[in-house]
Amino acid sequence: MPADLAFAADAAASTQASLEGLLARQRSAFLADPNPSAEQRRAWLNALRRLLVDEQEAIIAAISQDFGNRSADETRMAEIMPSVLGIHYASKHLKGWMKPSKRSVGLPFQPAATRVLYQPLGVVGVIVPWNYPLFLAIGPLTGALAAGNRVMIKMSESTPVFSQVLKELLARIFPEDLVAVVTGEVDVGVAFSRLPFDHLLFTGATSVGKHVMRAAAENLTPVTLELGGKSPAIVSTDVPMKHAAERIAWGKTLNAGQTCIAPDYVLVPESRVEEFVTCYREAVQRFFPRLADNPDYTSIINERQLRRLEGYLSDAEAQGARRVPLFAEHQARRLPHCLLLDTRDDMQVMQEEIFGPLLPVLPYRSLDQALDYINDRPRPLALYYFGYDKAEQQRVLENTRSGGVCLNDTLLHVAQDDAPFGGVGASGMGHYHGREGFLTFSTARTVFSKQRFNAARLIYPPYGKLLQKLVYRLFIR
């Protein structure tokens, strides 16, 4: 074997051994304390909440350094605030979630009792993407700790500064056998996904999610996949255009469009396309009066992602799409927001999740046509409808499928602590946030119990007795 290949093989083996050792320590710690009390779990959550509040400036600075520029307000609003609120919600409701659930027992099985215990799974693995590196680490961590688990977190190689900061911050309040942050390149992520966790949650691209699920299958590790896809927005024929355009613009410009639930394309009645373009341009330019040196305008995370987006633009324009630029300037990785008209389905920008500040505008002639267009494609993580007619809202809900929906808004369904978040089909599987997060990271353990009297012995073998025949006549009908 050549020396460089031998070195790579040795490094991979060392990485795998190190991760397996960390997992073994967490599993041993879990077995020593398999049912943490509500008070202990609340103490963990309160320490985490306090840490985020106290260290928010360090968090903001680290994430901005990784991005080249990330709006401080976007980090506060889209990462720190929902993380803190989610922790507070879990802490408040934890005791009720932990309470065993009484279930009914059918008449043939009486006298007996049935209850469901919600117990920790053990060690949970979390793989975090780069676009919201705090919120998408803390959200799963909150659910896993609330459920009484140990947690290993693999951070993205695209956010090395923040990843190291989070590792150091969490080490202040949690021992490594309770919460551990793992950093490193793609090879570390691959090794991480191969570990025999009790549950693995991955947030990221659909293409990578397939590899993660394949690796987890080798250990029969249950997975929650939070993926993405092309989330559509529909503008109705009669909604005030300023309302729709402004709310879509906010959802698309937040984090420069680098959001898994950002509107990926917008369906607009063909008679209202120019009106939409005008209102959308006004909204974006009101949000960002200038591009250069504007601290509110977030950069594209790195050169690789910038080249990908520029490639989408070049491909679309080469095939006849019309670019509607909303800024004349272009500064480093601050890619100017733009609309795309006259797109075709075979363009890259219509085939791939955009994950950036480009928004195709597609005209439609009828709502049925718009719904057919959505339903002919993989099910998205989010769907947005803009229109105040209740019957039409219901029609959209009944005739589409997506992970989540906002009516007359964008993004904000993800911040609702009392509602599940997750995808469907190509956009993911499983849910978390709030109670659903607690349930995802718990085992629902059915306990069926009887005392001395055992009526069931009347139907034990040998079969064919009169009483057995009577039971069949009573209950099989």
Going by the DSSP 8-state scheme, the letter that residue 79 receives in this structure is: I
* Helix (H/G/I), strand (E/B), else coil: 407: strand
246 a catalytic residue = no
Name the catalytic one among 226, 246, 353, 436.
226
Pairing mode of beta strands 382-386, 199-203: unpaired
CA neighbor of 236 nearest in space, from 399, 389, 391, 413: 389
Kind and range of the H or E run holding 382: strand 382-386
CA neighbor of 269 nearest in space, from 366, 410, 396: 366
Name the catalytic one among 74, 246, 260, 353.
260
Q: Which amino acid is at 161?
A: V
Q: Is the peptide bond before 111 cis (omega within 30 degrees of 0)?
A: yes
103: Cα within 13 Å, side-chain hemisphere: 15
Q: Which amino acid is at 476?
A: I
DSSP 226-273: E-----EEEE-SSS-HHHHHHHHHHHHHGGGG--TTS--EEEEEGGGH
226 a catalytic residue = yes
120: Cα within 13 Å, side-chain hemisphere: 27
Q: Which residues are catalytic?
A: 226, 260
